[in-house]
Amino acid sequence: MPRRAHGEGTIYKRKDGRWQASLQLDGKRKTIYGKTRTEVAEKLRQLQGAARENGRIPDAGRLTLSEYLHQWLEQAESRLRSTTLDAYRVIADCYLAPHIGTVRLSRLDPMRIARLYANLAKAGHSKRRVQSVHAFLRKVLADAHRWGLLSNNPADLVDKPKREHKERELWSPEEISRFLRAVQEGECGQYGPLLGFLLASGCRVGEALGLRWSDIDWRAGAVRIERQITEVRCKPIECEPKTRASVRTISLPAWGMELLRRQKAMVAEWRLQSGSPFEWPDRVFTTSVGTVPLQGNIRRALHEACDRLNLPCIRTHDLRHLHLSMLAMAGVPVKVAQQRAGHATAAITMAVYSHVLGDADKQAAEALERALGRL
């Protein structure tokens, strides 16, 4: 029998019917198992490739997935946004640790991961949640592979959970006008000007909450977006905008500036009633006691307004989509809308534009049909 080269490995069938492969490099041996020779050969090939790339055999030892996730989150804490870090911790603690946390990192395979996704779906978790679990697991295991702990990323071999796209019912132009009349007449409570501002500016909710009075150019009729407020377990935290493109100046329609003037008058009244007017925060949108509005309360105010005005119930973020829809119907170029919305790429803006312009395209085809009939 010819002598094997250093690091070539061996494959043979065991007495129990399983196949086994061994690889030795620099005095260190790694053994892998499989049901078929082909399966073990593929695992061995990946192991050999990782050994050549890293100069050593990947070995996570007895490290479990939960232990690895804890270490991963600890090293990532300084470079992740607080909201992202909190979301990752929830996934690790609530969705991964209870199901596969005790599995050794080196023994985590595609089948276990696929079963995890199936069990989460059976337990009633949304497809969006399962997608989030997949995205996080794929990310952390990619790092484990890059750091030489794994020979490959098993999450890459699992089909990405599919998410059903549901068309949301947005307001018609008549319904938008009805909502704005209610806001201007003060029928939507203390959060009315904020809701109207979201529609006028197309801002994200967090960007609106981060707005300061010094960010408003009253003469030019514009606002400058330079920060945002995010929530981590109902605790408001000020941070930088979502992307570099999110730092921008937005011109407002006349009715949008009027809403800001009404907000300023309302805040001035709250300050006087507080008894401590000089301690009031320099924020445009606050509660009646000077605190940052919680997004759950803003959402509740919008839903109550929808019920009272007999409007389809929408999300707070849908006010941003409605803003872009109005721009599309007005014929505003996509590039301008992208800059106004603070989207990193035009593809996101086009998704909204194409939805709105779908009806217009149908109308254009019908117009051509009528013209051909006249000819």
Give the CA distances from residue 99 to residues 69, 102, 341, 363, in Å, rounded to whole numbers and listed in that order: 13, 8, 40, 52
Indicate the SS3 state at residue 20: strand
Locate all alpha helices (DSSP H) within 275-345, ordered by sequence: 295-309, 318-329, 334-341
Please determine, for residue 373, whether its predicted confidence score (pLDDT) is greater than 50.
yes
**Residue of higher predicted confidence among 190 and 366:** 190
Please determine, for residue 155, whether its predicted confidence score (pLDDT) is greater than 90.
yes
Could you please state the CATH topology (level 3) that the domain comprising 173-314 is classified under. Answer: hpI Integrase; Chain A (1.10.443)
| pLDDT tens, position by position, 342-364 | 998 888 888 777 766 555 555 55
Over range 250-269, report the average pLDDT: 95
User: Picking from 57-71, 91-105, 180-194, 340-354, which range would have the lowest pLDDT averaged per residue?
Assistant: 57-71
Contacts of 325 (CB under 8 A, 6+ apart): 170, 352, 355, 356
| pLDDT tens, position by position, 3-37 | 444 444 578 888 888 888 877 655 566 777 778 88
Q: Which CATH class is domain 65-157?
A: mainly alpha
Contacts of 87 (CB under 8 A, 6+ apart): 132
**Domain ranges within the chain, ordered by starting residue:** 10-54, 65-157, 173-314
The answer to whether domain 65-157 and domain 173-314 are alike in fold is no
pLDDT at position 56, please?
55
Residue 116 CA neighbour count, 13 Å, CB half: 29
Least Cα distance to 151 among 34, 63, 42 occurs for 42
Indicate the SS3 state at residue 64: strand
